[in-house]
Structure 1
């Protein structure tokens, strides 16, 4: 891979395969994601979305194929400080307050002093948790925990933000606010990869990958996917590409 290619690509995935107990979860996926792109991965539960992003973040390792992130082969421990990750399951300390959770994870990312306090304030405002920061996290609702997890992933201003179903359980008004922030971050050069099964969210992405049964069946802009499928909506495009076996742009 050339240095010029690595400079403009945030993620380079080539021929990755992943199996669990003899079952193929990801099957020969090749994909490149430019820096600063808001890339969505759309597919039903069990399609391989979560496994795919675990390979990108270095949490898991492919059985075969190559995964490069920000120009480096994964998994790579040194890259963790440059990646923000929000898992599908909230990894929070319920006995701590929201503020203490943010301070703990912020310190892990090397934030301290006034810088840490400023970032806690900024991300809490973004996810509308300012009034609840001193409450024990165990008393948070499911939606509040999702919002706190999102805030944690944004604390250290990562170059690459990887979000697994980030808006599940979040009310529609706050969901709109979060999407405005994600679009703003993308325009500032932050690369964002997120999984979703919500069609109206998929339409907000710069580019969209359709995944089914562990295969990437198509990848292009939402508009192009709809046009290529002959349908009128992303949902119709997903159904059409799945029926045809997939056409890569």
Structure 2
């Protein structure tokens, strides 16, 4: 991959250099421009199928913009974005994607069952299959007792799980999750990550945005995003090794050209 402007480093793992036909996501010089702002700046990456790929970066780094391009909600201003070998946006490919936005897009006055039934119809899940799928997901996500309660009674964690259930309704091949565990307690975060790992083991590709270093460590592959630019993409262990750092946080700072401040000892 050619060097980035302004001396920014870029690393690409051999694992990412797979044939495009075997990849879930291929981005080639993708940019998204809003007036004078390059929210995504010439991003190139190949994400294999059946992995958990984490996109790590601070707020405003472009994570949500890239995810919205992947699901077809935004068109690239420049470059080419392929999902399962097809340029996006594409309706048939979009039907194979499950999307969980950072703020759950749910109907609070409807029950969970009614929300799931509505989105199941949008996804064109057959009625008999949908009824089984609703019960299955509600059981898996510990929401069965709340199926017939309106969502305005749900806690933040329950709403997150409800949003995940909707994204999983049609058994997507690609699951795109924007900060899926933000605001959740550690136990619930662990439960959701166990679910993510089960999905990946079954062949689903997961693209997850996060600013949590702990969650970044759980990903198979990780991309560092800053100011719309992909600084590096590799396994968490390889990113630490390549930068000579023990933590992902320090590895990110090295790649971003930021100083690593010494940690004051506890008193």
TM-score (norm 2): 0.87
Q: Which residue in the other structure is 2:263 paired with?
A: none
Residues 1:161 and 2:168 aligned together: no
Q: Which residue in the other structure is 1:171 paired with?
A: 185
- Residue pair 2:20, 2:46 contacting (<8 A) in 1 also: no
The secondary structure found in structure 1 opposite 2:149 is: coil
Q: How does 1:2-151 map to 2 (within 5 A)?
A: 5-151=19-165
The secondary structure found in structure 1 opposite 2:114 is: helix
Q: Which runs of 5+ in 2 are unaligned?
A: 1-17, 259-267
The secondary structure found in structure 2 opposite 1:243 is: coil
Residue 228 of structure 1 and its aligned partner are, at CA, apart by: 0.9
Residues 1:152 and 2:166 aligned together: yes
1:30-78 per-position Cα deviation (integer Å, ceiling 9, x unaligned)? 0000111110000000000000011111100111100000110100012
Distance 2:59 2:49 in 1: 27
State the number of aligned residues.
241
Distance 2:160 2:176 in 1: 14
CA-based RMSD: 1.4
Q: Which residue in the other structure is 2:235 paired with?
A: 221
Q: Which residue in the other structure is 2:225 paired with?
A: 211
1:76-115 per-position Cα deviation (integer Å, ceiling 9, x unaligned)? 0121221000011211111210111011111211223331
Larger Rg: 2
Residue 177 of structure 1 and its aligned partner are, at CA, apart by: 1.7
Structure 1 pair 169–122 and aligned structure 2 pair: CA distance change class (3 A): farther
Distance 2:20 2:109 in 1: 42
Distance 1:186 1:156 in 2: 16
Residue 127 of structure 1 and its aligned partner are, at CA, apart by: 2.3
- Residue pair 1:202, 1:222 contacting (<8 A) in 2 also: yes
**Divergent runs of 4+, >2 A:** 4-7
Q: Which runs of 5+ in 1 are unaligned?
A: 245-249
Higher mean C-alpha displacement, 128-137 vs 195-204: 128-137
Q: Which residue in the other structure is 2:10 paired with?
A: none
Distance 1:47 1:203 in 2: 19
TM-score (norm 1): 0.93
- Residue pair 1:207, 1:219 contacting (<8 A) in 2 also: yes
Distance 1:209 1:112 in 2: 37
